[in-house]
Structure 1
């Protein structure tokens, strides 16, 4: 991976820094859309104190401080920065130190308490390069030479092999600080590994929790939809049953009404037929009676003078009710009840307790008879009444 320092603002700011002298500083950082390029993000004076006041809490900063006519590098990595980014910054810090030909590099700082003036004096003085005048004259490599290539570091992989390559590749430019720098790098490496492991574990748990929550929500949604579907089906089934029952009841009601109507009509027709038939029969009887002919004949049971009931044949005319033997072995009536306006016809059921019985009373005689059914009784009584009226 290479880190680029081609930003012209860096050259101009560094020249101004040299002109201002001790206490001046510049700050380099990553732009939002790049991980392998550095740009100027700040500059100022007042030494370490002024620099400390301008350090952000969420961004990696490569600071170059001019102190005692020497350039000092400071790598600022706040606690909010992940281990992978810290490791990448440590590699790029080596390239920055080489680019600016710094005299010393302070230990990596995560908090502002890590920065103090005593750290500047506590660091072992490094042997200045023979052409130290380069700092004084403010010389920087050309823009074409500003892109420095360093060891490869995968953007998202924090394996031991890559971290070891970071540690092996990062060395202070000053040999007297070699052991201290190695110790700091080992601490940073261990911390980066631990932070990355924690981050991976937290991310794994968060992902599992998220997946579990999604599964639970999906199951709850599926169960809710199933319950709603079942409820809709039950409601639809109940609605259909109610509708079918209502239709069946309505059809049954209509059917009963139609049957009742037909029954009433049939009954009315039957009654009308009976009335018409009776009227026709009555007209026929009246004509026969008026002409002196036999209007009606048939069989009945008659109470004899000895108190026994006998089956008899009868004939009814306008003059009398003639009673004959059942077999008509004799043409002479056994008994004849004359009919006149004084003749009485009485229903004798209450007296005899015999169904379809009649009591016929004339001025000189009376006769108890009963017929086989109500129709025959009604027909005979109607004929007797017509004969009496005539």
Structure 2
């Protein structure tokens, strides 16, 4: 809850009060801001004039009575609780700026700031601020106190320091030497252009505060600059790390893709050679297990298959001697398509045939899916080789 007390008029009015330049009170307020405190008013009419300038809000006052000073925090009864708490905090900052106070008082209405209350707080007595005195009577140094006074134990009538310094007319001797004639004071030598008057205490404090504020602002700026440089350096390092990881991932994926392509190419070459040799010798081109749906049946069935010559044979088991279905692939294959998006089964494909037997069986399409992707590719390659697709 810091506040702004940079209004130069505050210290101008304050110096007028403590330097006895006519002004003897001032009032500070927020002027519809949250934490900017500025000078509202000042005057030379004493406490009564200051009370006439109070408003129904949070105010700070400073007044001089005789040679003593009072700091006032005025919080109107209409002020909310939050602003009351803020006033207590800001009041300490005002007191740190207006340091000459001998007492402080918090008030919520003008009656709290009566002359009697203020003078009591400043430990002043008398209506006009001076100690009460008894009438001054001429005294003679050779005249003793009256016996009545001595009997009652009452001291002689008190007199102020000024009364003791100034003798009464009856005590002045007419043949006393005349006082020396007053002499005019010697003129002060003019200040040279290079000399500067010493700073007052308030000016020195303001200068020290300004230097401290400048130092803090400079350190904050340097800190922000360092933090910004570190943030940018960290971001650059993060970007470089991400780019390096992306490059490494790209190179790794490229290497894996090339290795996979090379492996598939080698497998195709080996498979192609096997197909050629098996075709020449009339041997089984490819065999294994895969699941089949077709031939008028809506169910998937696990079958052992064998490709020999231009025919795909399907068996219930590897031990069966006679196939349950044989599909002639010579010139009858209309297409071999990947149907994984259609049937939602991995490694699946469809074999479309155009034979009378396929029509009799209930359809010219057979669906297959294999256990692995590699097996599926191998079977599709063998079917394509045999059918000329």
Scaled by the length of structure 2, the TM-score of the pair is 0.41
Bigger Rg over Cα:
1
Higher relative contact order (CA 8 A, sep 6+): 1
Going by fraction, where is helix more abundant, 1 or 2? 1
Scaled by the length of structure 1, the TM-score of the pair is 0.41
